[in-house]
Structure 1
């Protein structure tokens, strides 16, 4: 009897590996066959950008190690995909979906990649993404890159995938890998997690190292797990968390990292938890059908002991307007990253990327590059602009102190609950953590999720709530993919 890969979890894969029912090499082959027949044929889901040419060799060696010495831990022999802005010092490229960086090789693994390798994970490949984390141009569809093309939503191909970690979410949803790593600046884990019916953990900025990740915003960027279950996401989180002295943001996590986040996988985690719902502003874009799904989720939480404070409105919600922070930080952050690629790098500056695109417009400029041009020519790259400095301070004031901090203190809350990813605008600027969990589907089959959010380093509480909700609902279902075969 062949191993059932669809919806397989890390614990049941490890049990099968330990019993000899399957090997890591066999597991990689199963995923590769699914990718070939379902991601690259038919309507072309297009979630995978590149396959690691050494994946089978790595899996084989990990099988030998398991037989000789036993597994290193829960991630030993587990195939994982990385978003294409995460450096791997191997035979794969790191391009952020850009043809300008299609031939760019990183000289060193990202800090989190080295931790994954040390834990025995198999880097299966790179996932497609919205080019430059959706900071190339206005009106680019989520999940599109000039290097990889358009990622499709497997639940409903007329529905967006969400961005920018589109490939990371869709690949997990379609069982093309066990788990994946995405990155978020403003909704880029939560948005595709919501629309691909997966778990997405957007950690506190500073919990996970950003070293070796092609940046968008120095103040808001973070990597995070994407998985089909909260347990799998937390097992991956355990590996990603580690102190990196080269990332200044990590100084705030000193003494606040947990050794094992699985301790917080509590089925009764909702019982007694005080959860606030910011109805004002954050519900304006919901359809009636989505609102029904959200309210049903809240009813379930109540049934399992949650104390729901509704509404628990964020007083600054409507004051949070356009901010120049990301625009100003992009040029400075990207140029610093590119400068570290070495003298043989295909491009060395943001200006080089713009010029490359201008020389290859048919291939690279389907939707233009207005944001790249704005960042290059309307910002100094030195972060000295008064509007940047003022906006950064205002974001912290409105999103942290007078926003999330204030409402949680006022109502003595353990967490906030948002529909879909609609709270990401405030949580991302605050640098605060969130977890999105599947909460059902519309009549058209489009996934809908709910997002638990809280203050900095409150991941343990969010894990309790997300796990308890997941265990009591089990809403997630795999896409059929029948029309893709």
Structure 2
């Protein structure tokens, strides 16, 4: 299926083409040299066909909930206009509003949530020449409904499957976005993250996922969990492509106060991506966050060797999450979910049956056969009961301090390093709708960046028995451009072989 990887004309330096999927390189000549047919249109047509053959049929990845039949024509028009994204296709997680498709968050309660609105980040993509190919499946309600959930499942879209092993999980909650990009269904995708929901599916599906600084990308018209931690971000095949998408979606939005500084902080995220050196760059190696699974440790050591060989300086860091940080984060998410989701549902112009979290809980109970068959809604119920504002404010202040000032900021300063690195997570676990997820909890440090609202990039660093594993690179607030450049530099230095999706159930790799 490698021949269905998306491509279209790009106004890119020739060296950048090596960082894009192969079909892009083959079709990226300047406009006067192209054939009469539109490369962008052809790519969109191939992608829609691939979705029909591999997502709706064949291995039935269930990564895509809805598609846009007008995408080929839109891609051709954007290509002819020579806009920055040149008619490239993107799939958008189905908690982000698009004016031409419903936004369901995976729930039957929102199956008719046709708002007629583009989220500002979607409008920015269109203005830059991006084409919305469709909407991706997700862990329902962005995986905040139940403590016993199976990531990648929603009542609307069913169970998303990993292209590298179709009986294995895609991680949550941007599961469909990760699987779709890995499968070659689009040039890139948009995911959202509150804590791990871009970086984990990126790691497990073998792609790049970038969680920006909270406040770089508007959250308006995105079904929320937490205004303190939510952000959208790109999921792509390379750090360079993620940077291109950041150029399109970053910016201030008067309706989202968190983005007030975004315009002033915004840069050309692609600048320096092709030639930034690792020489002399100091990385803090989060040793305890490597975990105790030997195959992950072996992969990580290979990544460290690649960094050293490219001239990076590695500093061992000993760090342990304070117990209160995670507990306080959970209090914050519960309190803000009730308020923020209620505000979103009340403001939807669509004819939907729920206008509050309480309404949604009642809807699920009334439709338990479809909504609650595999797992309950205990987190929703806890959130509905979390009403102590004073306790919430104290929890937010403490968790933010522990993750930010006394977490990432302190680790960077005390160790004189510019970035923190660790494995993102372990390899994908088997899909299990009976027992739920089996997260490798001792691996990774992404909660620090999530709670602090700082940038976090996951880049593929190899595989274990054919199952991808990512490398996390985290930096200081608003240091997004530098984090992306480090991702691109590591990609050039990486010596590990990356796996190709099999579109089959997992089998042990051949010796």
Q: Structure 1 length normalisation: TM-score?
A: 0.91
Contact 1:76 1:120 in 2 (8 A): yes
Out of 424, 427, 452, the residue aligned to residue 446 of structure 2 is 424
Identify the residue that residue 302 of structure 1 maps to in structure 2: 308
Q: 1:441 to 1:121 in 2, by over 3 A?
A: same
Identify the residue that residue 441 of structure 2 maps to in structure 1: none
1:145, CA displacement in angstroms?
A: 0.6
Secondary structure in 1 matching 2:327: coil
| Rounded Cα–Cα distance in structure 2 between residues aligned with 1:98 and 1:81 | 18
Secondary structure in 1 matching 2:454: coil
Secondary structure in 2 matching 1:263: coil
Contact 1:107 1:341 in 2 (8 A): no
Moved more, 195-204 or 20-29: 20-29
Residue 272 (1) aligns with residue 280 (2): yes
Alpha carbon RMSD of aligned pairs, Å?
Answer: 2.1
Out of 9, 12, 15, the residue aligned to residue 28 of structure 2 is 15
Secondary structure in 2 matching 1:322: helix
Residue 314 (1) aligns with residue 319 (2): yes
Out of 86, 89, 101, the residue aligned to residue 76 of structure 1 is 86
How do residues 373-392 of structure 1 correspond to structure 2 at under 5 angstroms?
A: 373-376=381-384, 378-380=385-387, 384-392=388-396
Unaligned runs of 5+ in 1: none
Secondary structure in 2 matching 1:261: coil
Identify the residue that residue 509 of structure 2 maps to in structure 1: none
Out of 43, 49, 56, the residue aligned to residue 40 of structure 1 is 56
Identify the residue that residue 483 of structure 2 maps to in structure 1: 462
Query: Could you list the per-position Cα deviations for residues 74-130 of structure 1 after superposition, in whole angstroms to 9, with x for gaps in the alignment?
Result: x1211110000001112x110110011011112321000110111121111000000
Identify the residue that residue 451 of structure 1 maps to in structure 2: 472
Contact 1:315 1:402 in 2 (8 A): no
Identify the residue that residue 269 of structure 2 maps to in structure 1: 261
1:264, CA displacement in angstroms?
A: 2.9
Out of 402, 415, 427, the residue aligned to residue 398 of structure 1 is 402
Q: 1:346 to 1:89 in 2, by over 3 A?
A: farther
How do residues 430-449 of structure 1 correspond to structure 2 at under 5 angstroms?
A: 430-443=452-465, 445-449=466-470
| Rounded Cα–Cα distance in structure 2 between residues aligned with 1:167 and 1:452 | 23
Secondary structure in 2 matching 1:277: strand
How do residues 13-412 of structure 1 correspond to structure 2 at under 5 angstroms?
A: 15=28, 18=31, 19-20=34-35, 22-62=38-78, 66=80, 70-73=81-84, 75-90=85-100, 92-258=101-267, 260-280=268-288, 282-284=289-291, 286-310=292-316, 312-314=317-319, 316-317=321-322, 320-323=325-328, 324-342=331-349, 344-366=351-373, 367-376=375-384, 378-380=385-387, 384-412=388-416
1:33, CA displacement in angstroms?
A: 1.1
| Rounded Cα–Cα distance in structure 1 between residues aligned with 2:504 and 2:87 | 29
1:315, CA displacement in angstroms?
A: 5.7
| Rounded Cα–Cα distance in structure 1 between residues aligned with 2:345 and 2:140 | 16
| Rounded Cα–Cα distance in structure 1 between residues aligned with 2:306 and 2:350 | 57
Query: Could you list the per-position Cα deviations for residues 310-333 of structure 1 after superposition, in whole angstroms to 9, with x for gaps in the alignment?
Result: 1x1236555533220001100111
Contact 2:77 2:87 in 1 (8 A): no
1:54, CA displacement in angstroms?
A: 3.0
Secondary structure in 2 matching 1:320: helix
Aligned residues: 466
| Rounded Cα–Cα distance in structure 2 between residues aligned with 1:274 and 1:307 | 5
Contact 2:252 2:261 in 1 (8 A): no
Q: 1:272 to 1:482 in 2, by over 3 A?
A: same
Q: Structure 2 length normalisation: TM-score?
A: 0.87
| Rounded Cα–Cα distance in structure 1 between residues aligned with 2:138 and 2:209 | 15
Contact 1:396 1:430 in 2 (8 A): yes
Contact 2:4 2:185 in 1 (8 A): no
Unaligned runs of 5+ in 2: 8-19, 426-443, 507-511
| Rounded Cα–Cα distance in structure 2 between residues aligned with 1:353 and 1:199 | 33
Contact 1:205 1:221 in 2 (8 A): yes
| Rounded Cα–Cα distance in structure 1 between residues aligned with 2:30 and 2:47 | 15
Q: 1:476 to 1:234 in 2, by over 3 A?
A: farther
Q: 1:305 to 1:7 in 2, by over 3 A?
A: farther
